[in-house]
Amino acid sequence: MKHDSFNESAEMYLKPISELADGDESISIAAIAGQLGISSVSATEMVHRLKDRGLLEHTQYKGVHLTDKGQRKANALIRAHHL
């Protein structure tokens, strides 16, 4: 079976973004980086990859928020984690 490191990395980001978000509130990349204990540069790189996949939207200087697709994926991850 092929190892898909993108999916694992995406999951690592989607769950905290969902948990940090309050409704439609945008989350700063610095907050994401702080939550995950990584650099802002690493967080920015993954944010761009997630945006390219349609999982979140990023507005420069305002932050990120999950798209409907990203929120569904995050919710599925959270549910699976609780099982």
Degrees, nearest 5: CA angle 83-18-57: 135
pLDDT of residue 82: 66
Of the chain, the percentage scoring pLDDT greater than 70 comes to 87
Q: Does the structure show a pLDDT above 50 at 2?
A: no
Q: Tokens 């989607």 correspond to what residue?
A: 14
Q: Tokens 């769950």 correspond to what residue?
A: 15
Higher pLDDT, 10 or 81: 10
Rounded CA-CA distance 63/67 in Å is: 13
Domain count within the chain: 1
Residues in the chain: 83
List the CATH number of the domain containing 25. 1.10.10.10
pLDDT of residue 46: 94
pLDDT of residue 39: 97
Beta-strand (E) ranges in the chain? 56-59, 63-66
pLDDT of residue 31: 94
pLDDT of residue 77: 85
Pairing outcome for strands 63-66 and 56-59: antiparallel
Rounded CA-CA distance 47/12 in Å is: 12
Q: pLDDT by residue (tens digit) across 64-73?
A: 999 999 999 9
pLDDT of residue 1: 42
Residue 58 structural domain: 5-82
